[in-house]
Amino acid sequence: MQTQTGNVELIDLISRNITSSLSEVELAVPDIHCAGCISTIENALISTPGVEYARVNLTTRRVRIRWLTTLSTPNLINVINQAGFKAIVPESTSPAASEDVLKKHIKALAVAGFAAGNVMMLSLSVWSGADESTRHIFHLFSALIVVPALVFSSRLFFVSAWQALRVGRTNMDVPICVGIVLTTLLSIYDTTLGGAQVYFDAVIMLVFLLLIGRTLETRMRAKARGAVDGLAQLQPALAMIFSNANDSQQCISIPVTQVVGGDILQLRKGERIPVDCKIISGSSSIDMSLVSGESVPVRVSEGDVLFSGCLNLEGTLRATATDTVQSSFLGKVEQMIEDANAHKGHYQQLADRVVSYYTPFVHLAALLGFTVWMWFSGDLHSAVTVGVTVLIITCPCALGLAVPITRVIAAHQLLKFGVLMKDGAALERLGMVGAVVFDKTGTLTSGQVKLHSASSLCKEDSMPLAKSLCNGAEHPYAKAIFRHSQCFPEPIYSWQEWSEVAGSGISARLGADVYRLGRATWALNEAEIEQDHLDAKFSHSLLTKNGRLVADFTFEDCLSTDAPECINRLCQQGLSVEILSGDAIGPVRQVADALNITQFQASARPDGKLEQINLRQSADSQVLMVGDGINDGPALVAASVSMVPGTGADMTRKLADFVLLSNRLTAIPDAIALARRSRRIVAQNLTLAVGYNVVAMPLALTGVVTPLLAAVAMSVSSVLVIGNSLRLASPERSLPNRSIKSGKSNAWVAQ
């Protein structure tokens, strides 16, 4: 066990300075699971002298703390331990550890489900009219099945309750455990005396239903954590630096965390950029899709700025580090995702608060019933029976099923639309969106580049030349030219020194002439570079002969075939539609005009996209973000709800609430319509569950209802909720279109 001094030294070791007066550390707290846990930890930390900021992320189960460096380092681990939670360094919460937690939940769920199924069969036999001896035997079998199952399956709740009680606080698991213990003890007592009614079926079903929710929560949080871990894998662990800036040969490898501004880096072919830097010497092609979302490599040379996580495709570069790993592009994106995840957790906190108010009220009513009956009747068994009846009949099974059962049915329906729902809580948020924000490339467009036009500026036959040059090339533009020129006869050219220069184009020699096909600044002679005539709506590739222009090829990314229908239906649903893209203004405006979208922004970096999403949501507008690139990650997480095409980057698929498996854009309005309908059904379910409890509780308190009838009533209320939710699987009658909102004002000006 760490001493207090050891804990302080550990905090000093893993913390970092974010300003001259503030230090920050992140600790993992794996035991948190509700809003009460969050408020307890944050209040304990904020009340610690010197601590300026404390924020718990429920999704990743981590807490970020900042404190004044002018004071001595606080013993933060000890503060969290005294609040009833175990704090460890984040590295200890490996993916294997998360898998272990999930396996424990699944095992407990499996045991509870097995026991519940068998006990319900025995209970049905008893309810069917078994004689006294048979009934007693079935009760004994029920006890033998349920008691060991409860010991194994409900330990998760008891451990959580004990951690709270031992530090003098309560959480939502405390009343759950009280109900489990009282109901089980009364059932054992009645079984021992040969009583006619026991309640093993009710208590094991309660545990089973609660474990379903906990297991799903654990799985979703593990997926969210995996997305951030996947982003971290793009960050190299080591960096090559020159130990002597004046010696180009002495290069050493150091941990990337030790790189500081001013270090001279060596960036080799095939490696990712470790930190943000500026090129001193050398030229290369860089895969910048992490930043811009565009797959076309970018040619860089001396003076250009590179961002961490981008991939060096071609040559070796020498660069000066401009930031540390935490302050570089990749570190900032990861930080934005973490912060956005913490903000999104408030939906779950609200749900936890509702349950935390409901459950103590129910147990207070049970205690009141027990006290009143004990006072007036003096019969301990009758008083306990009334108290247990109240606990059973008001068991929040129907209330607990109201949302999950609707989500399960909705998830099945969404799969029919080709939409995978990853976060059940997002279904409600999807039904509340008022705006849909699209990325352009790979989302509204297919990502399949095609040749738009070929303008020949001399008598030379440019298409056969271009077809021959592009034969065997890998660049998307070269493939588009080759596909387009299939109708032309196969040319015969004896090319010499043919080469494909990444990020620039194709170069080859034919006799004494040098032909180039690619970027204007590379293909043309410096005296010939005048690009004013180039249409800004399109991307261009120039064919040149000895540096003189021969032909101008323009390209466009094909619009998704169902994009117009998707946008039209979203507008009919009363939603505003916008484009937020990292691409240039020309292609973005072209897509916006084609789809009649008036609100758009071009050249948006990840932080800019995040800022715009937050701006929209600060105006009380729920936003659906649809994107596919890693550069969309922060905006996807910050948005109220997010969708990603199935062809999107692996990390964004992990981050998103929904994945479009079929890449069919019309599935988006289908999903929104289903989400709106599910919200109505959830509201009906909650009304039904609460109304049932309002009627049932007085009957239980007056002793009119026995525990057996209470168990039956509880089951009936659950069946009613399930039956109402099943209506979601039936088609909805078509409704007249609501008023249409299209972006006509406050348009985002393209930068």
- Active-site residues, by number, are 439
Number of Cβ atoms within 10 Å of the Cβ of 47: 10
CB 584 within 8 A of CB 603: yes
Cα distances (Å, whole numbers) of residue 493 to 138, 469, 549: 90, 9, 20
- Report the alpha-carbon distance of residue 471 to residue 281 in Å, rounded: 33
Q: How many beta carbons lie within 10 A of that of residue 241, not counting itself?
A: 20
Sheet holding 599-601, edge to edge: 419-421, 658-660, 641-645, 623-626, 435-438, 576-580, 599-601
Give the strands of the sheet with 284-287, arranged side by side. Answer: 298-300, 284-287, 311-312
For 708, list phi and psi in degrees, rounded to 5: -65, -50
Chain centroid to Cα 334, Å, comes to: 13
Calculate Rg over the CA atoms of the chain: 32
Give yes or no for a contact between 443 and 629, defined as CB atoms under 8 angstroms apart: no
Environment class of 490 (CB within 10 Å of its CB; exposed 0-12, middle 13-18, buried 19+): exposed
Question: Any bridge partners for residue 454, and if so which?
Answer: 553
In single-letter form, the type of residue at position 374 comes to: M
Q: How far is CA 98 from the centre of its chain?
A: 16
- Strands 419-421, 658-660: pairing kind: antiparallel
Torsion of CA 457, 463, 467, 470, to 10 degrees: 20
Cα distance between residue 79 and residue 54, in whole Å: 12
- 15, two tokens: 């913390």
CA distances from 109 to 161, 199, 218, 502 (A): 19, 20, 13, 54
Q: Burial-class residue 188 by CB neighbours within 10 Å (0-12, 13-18, 19+).
A: middle
